[in-house]
Amino acid sequence: MYRALVLLILASGTTCAALAEDAPPAPPTTSKHQMMKECMAKQVASEGGMPKEEMKKACKNVTQTEHDNEKAEKHEESGEKPAGTPPN
């Protein structure tokens, strides 16, 4: 049963990845709240067996990292350097 579930998840991920290549890019800005909701939903769906508090901590770290990456990408696109970046 567990193997079938894992294979189903992997197969759906591969299919989604193939479809994502053809789809237009997602909107560039997503709120932290929305990212947190999506992460928690993925954690619950994966049935990792983690307590809710650990899932929240993991998602908080992921959300913060993604948010920081979005900021860095915006700065790169506009030609600006993020704050705290040493000059060349």
pLDDT at 53 over 60: yes
Whether 19 is covered by a domain: the verdict is: no
Is residue 51 domain-resident? yes
Range of the domain at 62: 29-80
**Is residue 13 in a domain?**
no
Helix, strand, coil tally for the chain in percent (to 5): 70, 0, 30
How many structural domains are present in the chain?
A: 1
The whole-angstrom separation of Cα 21 and Cα 75 is: 25
Domain-embedded: residue 2: no
Model confidence band, residue 83 (pLDDT cutoffs 50, 70, 90):
low
1 within some domain: no
Q: Would the pTM count as exceeding 0.85?
A: no
**Is 4 contained in some domain?**
no
Please write the tens of the pLDDT for every residue from 11-49. 666 555 555 556 565 555 667 888 888 888 888 888 777
In a domain, 47, yes or no: yes
